[in-house]
Structures are given as structure tokens and as C-alpha cells.
A and B are shown apart, each in its own frame.
Chain A
Amino acid sequence: MRDLSLHILDLTENSVRAGARLITIRVEVDEKKLITLTITDDGCGMDAELLERVMSPFGTTRTTRKVGLGIPLMAQNARLTGGDIHIDSTPGKGTVFTAWLHGDSIDCLPLGDLAGTFVTLVTANPEKPDFVLMCASPKGSMDFDTRAVREVLGDVNLSEPEVSMWMLESIREELGPIFGGVIL
């Protein structure tokens, strides 16, 4: 993966497949440039045995093949910076995925296009779930909630191209001052 936003896209697909109704993506950067990514869902969750399996590159929930690389790749990129990942999961309740990365490490990936990731997720899954994006840095914070968009749109689909473009511009506009033009 070339940047963190692509990891977020990949890992959030797991939450979608877990049947979540609400998925919250948080990206926080503190004054020491420690990046905390959190993906919280209310999907089906995992038991201890499955959790151990998905952490390994040779484990997956898929039945068509034996490898699954999403989580191991994220773990590798976090550990390269001196950070790590953690997954907290309760069967039937949901999952909280957390990754910490040291933004001042030479091996830290750039944040990338978070707005692009968010809009791709929403456009590809317009009916369910709802997505919340929360971003914060010492320069400010923002949040974007598809439930608010849904309320205005009524029965217009979230995947309408014009709606997607509106979300994209609106999120980019808000993220600019928080993470800056060139991100980290």
C-alpha cells in the first residue's frame, strides 16, 4: 500500500463485510506526530481463535484461498515506524481496530487521500452501513457523518455521482487546514 488512506480503505472493507451498521474511522495526529488510526464497527465481531488467524498472513475468512494480507500489511507498516496495531473484538458486538504510527519516522507512509477513501467506501456501499469520519490534529478537527447527508437526501441514493463529488469536495475542504496540503 502506498499510503495510510489505502490501508484504511482495505481494513474498513472488513467492517463492511462483518455486516456493520455504523463504522467510525478516526485519524488523529498529536503534536509529537504520533498518528492514531481507529476503525470502530458494530459488525459480527471475531472470537479469539479467528482474531489470531486474521493477524497472520496465512489466515483469512475467505474460503476460496488461504491467504489474507490486509491486516498483516498494516501491522508491518505500523511496526516499521516503531508503532503497532491492536484489535479488540467481541462476537456479536463489533470490532475496534487501532494502529499507531510514528509520523516522524522515515518509514512512515503519508496519510494520503482520506476523502477519496471515505467517498469510495460510501459510494460502493450506499445502502448500509453509515460511515463517520473524524479527523484531528493540533491545528483543528472535523467530522463527517453520512447519517446527516442521508437526512437531507431523503430517498436519493448516496452513490449518485453528484452526491459523491459533493462529499469529496466537502471533506477535502475541511481536511485541508487540519492536515495541510502536503500531508506529513
Chain B
Amino acid sequence: MKSMAELEAIRQRTLQRINLRKEDESENIRVVVGMATCGIAAGARPVMMKFMEEINTRGLKEVTVSQTGCIGMCRLEPMVDVYLPGQEKVTYVHMTPEKVGRVVAEHIVNGRPVTEYTIGAAEK
């Protein structure tokens, strides 16, 4: 087993990072992955894992990854909502781990949604 000492080191690092985190919760970016039966069957878990991995390697502090249930558009799963403070939510459809890298780089880091992956592009 990876050592508990390692976990303790992570705790110390995280506590330092949390102090740097913006005080105002509303400044945080949220990534929400659809994780009901339909989402899971379509491949939502690897998508969520890839988001966590990218956020970890880039050391993004103000991003949280969470999950939601089925919102009734099962044919478009895996779906991911990205909430940037002060902007309207962006819904990505038919997500894959390969698409996650671009969403993180262009949308979450640089604030420009990847239009071609959005529900608007898929449903026109």
C-alpha cells in the first residue's frame, strides 16, 4: 500500500493550497459530470477520472469536480456541465477522455468554451 506518510504530506500541501484558494466560493469553477445509469453506461467514469487527473497535474486550485444524476437526455451522454463564475453554464455532450484535455485547456484555463463539443453544436 502507498504509505500513509505520503497521505500526510498531501494533507500538508493541500492545507497550504487551501489558504491560497479564493475566499469567495462563488469564484470557484465547477465541473459536473452526469453519473446515472445512462451516463455510466456511456462512459462517464473515465471522463470524470480524466478531469480529476488534468486538474491535479495542472495544479488548478479553484476547480471542483462533482456529479449529478440523469437529466433526461440519455442519448447525449456522457454529459458534462462547466460553470465559470459570472458566465452561463456550458453543457458538453458525447464526452470522451480525449476531449477533456481541450476543455480543460481552452475553457477552464483560458475561459473560451470549446463550441464544437457543446450541446448547441450537437443538437442543431
Contacts and interface: CB of A to CB of B under 8 A. Distances in A.
A10 B40 contact: yes
A123 B14 contact: no
A65 B72 CA distance: 9
B66 interface: yes
B90 to A, nearest CB: 20
B13 interface: yes
Contacts of B121: none
A162 B72 contact: no
Contact of A165 (B4, B48, B53): B53
B44 to A, nearest CB: 9
Interface string A159-177: 1111111101110011000
B52 A13 contact: no
Contacts of A182: none
Given A6-B41, A149-B7, A162 B35 contact: no
Contacts of A1: 40-41
A124 to B, nearest CB: 4
A117 interface: yes
Contacts of A64: 72
Contact of A124 (B37, B67, B72): B67
Interface string B55-79: 1100000001111000010000000
B6 to A, nearest CB: 7
Interface residues of B, number: 30
Nearest to A6: B40
A120 interface: yes
Nearest to B58: A161
B34 to A, nearest CB: 11
Contacts of A163: 7, 10, 14
B56 A162 contact: yes
26 contacts: A1-B40, A9-B45, A10-B41, A68-B37, A69-B37, A120-B48, A120-B67, A124-B48, A148-B4, A152-B7, A153-B10, A156-B15, A159-B65, A160-B14, A161-B53, A161-B55, A162-B10, A162-B14, A162-B56, A163-B7, A163-B10, A163-B14, A164-B52, A166-B2, A169-B2, A173-B2
Interface of A: 1-2, 6, 9-10, 13, 64-65, 68-70, 73, 113, 116-117, 119-120, 123-124, 148-149, 152-154, 156, 159-166, 168-170, 173-174
CB-based closest 10 A-B pairs: A161-B56, A170-B2, A124-B67, A70-B37, A156-B14, A152-B7, A161-B55, A156-B11, A162-B10, A10-B40
